[in-house]
Structure 1
């Protein structure tokens, strides 16, 4: 069986542990992202036939769309091992050494948030990606010397929510670059049904579609919504999820019929009530809401932009008429907001 290594000294949040339990094990079990899965299937078949490792792969897209899922499915397909770490955990070259030196032939090294890897570490990994070797400097000053260490042939899989922050030399070293997009309601409903069966929970077709509609096109959020609704059904009913139970549970969680949660509405209300609908910069929004700007730009804004509640302009974020209406505001003729 493939061996999975997680970076030492870190703990996964509860939602990641839950997602890992519900995650598909093979490519044929993956729902959605069909073209990406097909291309990866071809690469896997070629790797098996040539007995060569997969080319390095970069996955990019908003959080929760399956980047880590694909990374963990591929070693199962190939019968190899995977080591997992993240860009912020690799602050210096020495942090990367244990992963590279412990690699097995054909194994996979997965680096999440690879865009946050420091430049000095990024440059250190270049020869490892190209020639499967690393250059080590021993000693200091005039006594310093460089030695090359050969590595086992491996596949580097990187995941990023901000591919534009990767340097061109780094991005060009990935043989495959796959962008993951938001899921359809029907795809999310199928994910909800499959995962409800894994959790031994009965769910009606209507309830599955309701959860899908309120999950912002994101499987991770769908799994989170399913977990909460299941707990609600166990606590307040007979454990099965009907349409009525799903709506009651989601309303209690403050997830509205448009899929907006409390943080989404707070973002729109801040933009409209504090900044008059904008335009304003994300740093000003983050400071006012006391939330890291990365959280806003990576987790909150993609859905609001996709649904056209806000737009990005050269001067900053701007609320649309649709954004005003969804939080019960209306634009006045001078551009300010009014309560309805």
Structure 2
């Protein structure tokens, strides 16, 4: 297992991060405990969660259960110091989370304290803004994204308010570093500029979707990652399981994410099938597991801080963590590049 530093924080994390969004719905507490045990035993020191989780499906009944499960594991094992722990404050839109209100400075402080209690810890290593108040193009919203409707000063004022609240939490020892999620280049740079000009916490990471079918981070976000030392935490590196090939030809295996969340948040559409089939064929032609090839590709990207995996079975977890031991040949990388030119954004 290789390790990377989160931004300029000095915090070292495994290049594979254990995602948790199925714990409490698709996975029981016992299954989650087994996943955490296995991950730590195999060099993973980075867990990512959120107050919103689990998401399979989202519901007011299961909201916060994932954090509670992780807290119970810490209490049982005493391994809090072995884990770099990341969580997130939810944004607007869910009526059962702070009546669906946008994130404010006070929201940040309240969310940090609530997460600390559920996680049974006195500090969070990386605290992230789950999505911006002003809107964004993630979660398949690219088709309706229109930043011309945004109020620039309101957006900046909101960012500053959040940074000031995060600064309070950092100074209190409740969080060590901050990150963004589902952000844009302008949003990330503005957070950085505000922090640097006012002596507030600097963004260390951005957690955005990245996979063979969806590579927007290769563009202007890659430039920002390089110059500003803001690493990508890639979520959905298997496009919700699509890149394993298990959904080809209309299949929806029982218990799979697609059997619960339908089109996997808009990803499982006919337009992705030719690209998915091409990537799966590359893997099989070279004797590779399709999931491991997809994850190993993400690990080759120079802006990658860590790749967030998610599994509902130990078999899947072992395959995913095993991707850290895969080195893709130049032939495989050339074939991947050729498919990407044919299908630059398939989802």
Q: TM-score, normalised by structure 2?
A: 0.30
Task: Pick the structure with more helix per residue.
Answer: 1
Q: TM-score, normalised by structure 1?
A: 0.31
Larger radius of gyration: 1
Higher relative contact order (CA 8 A, sep 6+): 2
